[in-house]
Structure 1
């Protein structure tokens, strides 16, 4: 009986997370580039972020330094340090920056992690054909929320 309750609860939580997910084309940015509501409809899980920010889908450390991930080698110096990010930016601002930093910093070299149109990607494997295979964002809505949750924890010492 206990296992059945847990399975039903897990299904409800999973359903709630996807029910509120926002598609990349439906994201609403504020005037300064922030995104006020969760993209996934669920809170971020900060513990998932290091894998995303490592050399995986996000590869944040290729451009940014962050002390909390100092065990991962080869941090970049192109972008600002992420130490203290949770003190510098609000949750909505961080969500906007991770999803599409160009909405806040025009001309930023940071990739738009939650965008599927309005740019060219090299090669057929990355460009997609909207009629057949629509592009997927570089990060999922939940991955964005996970990274935001992690960055919010990075406070100035």
Structure 2
């Protein structure tokens, strides 16, 4: 029993609570604190970014690191060197809600659940079902995974 209690205390970070979208703390547009307390997985981040039914980042952003995936967009900046250009806090803030940095951007807020003008149902092109609770496009851990992948995109 004592060993179990010691194990639980020693792994507290693994059981950290997620920050809910409405509780994300911005400093300007930066989000310094991890949303999960768990490091992101760059491989999962790449999957999310290059999957058109997940993050769909590839529809707007190109990068040499995922040149093997067809149909890159050219609306957003090229992400080569993103890990050098932006800090982890800046990247997290941009993924959570890019509108905090770039008013008028077409980049969706991936971790937001309120304050929308025309709320759609993810990438389906349909309106959000009335009365249904709003869920973010990405989970808190998926945001951390994308940030971890973006940090690998260095020059």
Higher mean alpha-carbon deviation, 117-126 vs 92-101, is at 117-126
Quick check: 1:20–1:41 contact (8 Å CA) kept in 2? yes
Could you say which residue in structure 2 is the equivalent of 1:51? Answer: 47
Task: Write out per-residue CA displacement over residues 81-133 of structure 1, whole angstroms, 9 at most, x where no aligned residue.
Answer: 0100001000000000011000011111100000011002147762552xxx3
Change in 2 beyond 3 A, CA 1:115/1:127 = farther
Could you say which residue in structure 2 is the equivalent of 1:91? Answer: 88
Partner-residue secondary structure (3-state), 1:126: coil
Moved over 6 A (4+): none
Within-5 A mapping of 1:70-81:
70-81=67-78
Among 100, 103, 122, the alignment partner of 1:103 is 100
CA RMSD of aligned residues (A): 2.0
Aligned equivalents of 1:121, 1:18: Cα separation in 2:
32
Quick check: 1:127–1:135 contact (8 Å CA) kept in 2? no
**1:41 Cα deviation after fit:** 1.6
Aligned equivalents of 1:29, 1:127: Cα separation in 2:
29
State TM-score, norm by structure 2: 0.83
Aligned equivalents of 2:15, 2:21: Cα separation in 1:
14
Aligned equivalents of 1:18, 1:143: Cα separation in 2:
16
Among 56, 59, 64, the alignment partner of 2:61 is 64
